[in-house]
Structure 1
């Protein structure tokens, strides 16, 4: 039984690694298909939809489902991704300018830019998994993901640590990028966000039940999004 259990766990591990590698390849292929700038957002949307299905045990054909979600959400994916890309470029340019200065004003500005970059990165970690899970307007995705990042700091710190670790590994071992670089980050952050959102939804359900018992209904926006 012990060896059977070990064999099953080993099979599950290698199956997941192969799945991540295939997801990684699809993300790169479809990102290039959109000319990189217009392909990254829809590819990330499609990837997180598949990650959500995977972590919930809903196996679907990777290529067909990825292509469907990519083309179906091409506009929305770019509406989510392009603003973040523009903000990221602006932050990088300003960081490069102010970090080169040694005066107090430049150092304060660079510190502020670093904090803003961490906030944007935290919002990014939640944004696409939130799109894969909830039905909201495009504006609400940005508002609710940034709000979630601020209110659930422990989860945000974990996601930022995972992101930093992924960047460090990819920088140290560039050969991993074509196989696991993006796919592993998408899978781990999607898996974590699914847990965070589920815990939050359970908490919201408890609050709604308590509020109903006390005659105090849950506010409309929080009830609609199942987020606090």
Structure 2
């Protein structure tokens, strides 16, 4: 019995590692296919959609599913990713400029830029997992992710820690990047976000039920929860 259980868990573990490695390779290939800047957003959207499906226990051919979601979400994912890339580039340029001088004002600007970059990183961790889970108007994703990141600080800290660990491991062992680093980050952050969102949905539903029982049809957020939007139909492409 114990041997069978161990074998099953070992098989599941190594199967997940292989799936992550394939996801990592597909993300790199499809990002390059989109010339980098135009490929990263759709590749990330496709990856997070497939991570969520795997977390729900769905099985599908990885390459075919990734390609389908990549092309189906090419325009919307770029509309979501490109502004974030522009802000990240602006913050990086501002940091390089202000941190290179020694006067007090420049150091304060550099500190503010660093804080803004950390906040942006936290928001980005939620962005495509939220895109994979909820149907929202395109302009609402960043605002909703920002609110979620602030109101769920514990989860945001966990995601930032995972991100920092992935960056550190990739810098210490650059050989991980072509095989595991990106895929592992996408898988872990997507898996965590899916659970954070599920817990939040349960809190919002419980709050709405309590308000309904009290005869109150007012706001549906409170107690650290935030109403996000309608979940996507299971298995449906994001369009």
Whether the TM-score (by the shorter chain) exceeds 0.5 is yes
Could you list the runs of 5+ residues in structure 1 that have no partner in the other structure? none
Which residue number corresponds to residue 164 of structure 1? 164
Residue 224 of structure 1 and its aligned partner are, at CA, apart by 6.0
Render the CA deviation track for 1:53-88: whole Å, top value 9, x for unaligned.
Answer: 011111111011101110000001101110111111
Matches of 2:139 and 2:191, distance apart in 1: 24
| 3-state SS, counterpart of residue 39 of structure 1 | helix
Which residue number corresponds to residue 126 of structure 2? 126
Which residue number corresponds to residue 71 of structure 1? 71
Which residue number corresponds to residue 10 of structure 1? 10
Please tell me whether residue 225 in structure 1 is matched to residue 235 in structure 2: no
Maintained 8 Å contact 2:135/2:230: no
Matches of 2:155 and 2:12, distance apart in 1: 26
Matches of 2:29 and 2:121, distance apart in 1: 24
How many aligned residue pairs are there? 227
- Matching of residues 1-228 of structure 1 within 5 Å: 1-219=1-219, 223=227, 225=229
Matches of 1:217 and 1:183, distance apart in 2: 43
Higher normalized helix content (fraction of residues): 1
Residue 219 of structure 1 and its aligned partner are, at CA, apart by 3.3
Matches of 2:93 and 2:217, distance apart in 1: 46
Q: Which has the higher contact order (CA 8 A, sep 6+)?
A: 2
Render the CA deviation track for 1:108-140: whole Å, top value 9, x for unaligned.
Answer: 111100110011101100010000000001111
Could you list the runs of 5+ residues in structure 2 that have no partner in the other structure? 232-239
Maintained 8 Å contact 2:41/2:80: yes
| 3-state SS, counterpart of residue 35 of structure 1 | coil
Which stretches of structure 1, 4 residues or more, deviate above 6 A after TM superposition?
Answer: none
Maintained 8 Å contact 1:211/1:217: yes
Residue 223 of structure 1 and its aligned partner are, at CA, apart by 4.8
Maintained 8 Å contact 1:123/1:146: yes
Q: Once structures 1 and 2 are overlaid, which stretch shifts more, 8-17 or 214-223?
A: 214-223
1:96–1:223 distance in 2 versus 1, CA, 3 Å: closer
Residue 217 of structure 1 and its aligned partner are, at CA, apart by 1.9
Q: CA RMSD in A?
A: 1.5
Q: Once structures 1 and 2 are overlaid, which stretch shifts more, 217-226 or 39-48?
A: 217-226
**Normalising to structure 2: TM-score of the pair?**
0.92
1:218–1:70 distance in 2 versus 1, CA, 3 Å: farther
| 3-state SS, counterpart of residue 137 of structure 1 | coil
